[in-house]
Amino acid sequence: MNQTKKNYFPEEEQACSCCGENKFDPETLQRWNNLRAYLGFALPMNSMYRCPAYNDKMGYTQTHATGRAGDAKVTHKQAFAVIKAAPKFGFTGIGVKQKGNKRFIHLDDLEEIHGRPRPHIWSY
């Protein structure tokens, strides 16, 4: 897949919402940018980097604290396109939340974690 030079995700969107720290991994960001360019539609983000303290406070897993995970606010046809394309860009973790008002697709490019082999898909 071709690599885009365009950055679709501003630094404010990559940073932790509680402290403003941004430790989002540059290679993972490139994957997100390449995926966005390939899909041809916006990927508004719920969350990219989250500091460990925020994850602990909210009871989340530590995937976002690695700087290698993000949650895109997509639904229906666009959610399906993201899921279908994600492995082509090196994403190994896909989380699907497509019920209720806060729908999203989680993508990360982590290796095996917490006994979960990769690639791995789950639902929320």
pLDDT in tens, 65-92: 999 999 999 999 999 999 999 999 999 9
Q: What is the pLDDT of residue 111?
A: 93
Name 67's Cβ contacts closer than 8 Å, sequence gap at least 6.
23, 24, 25, 28, 49
CB-side neighbour CA atoms (13 Å) of 12: 1
What CA–CA distance (Å, rounded) separates 81 from 121? 15
Q: What is the pLDDT of residue 31?
A: 98
What CA–CA distance (Å, rounded) separates 100 from 61? 21
> In the chain, what are the domains?
20-123 (3.30.1380.10)
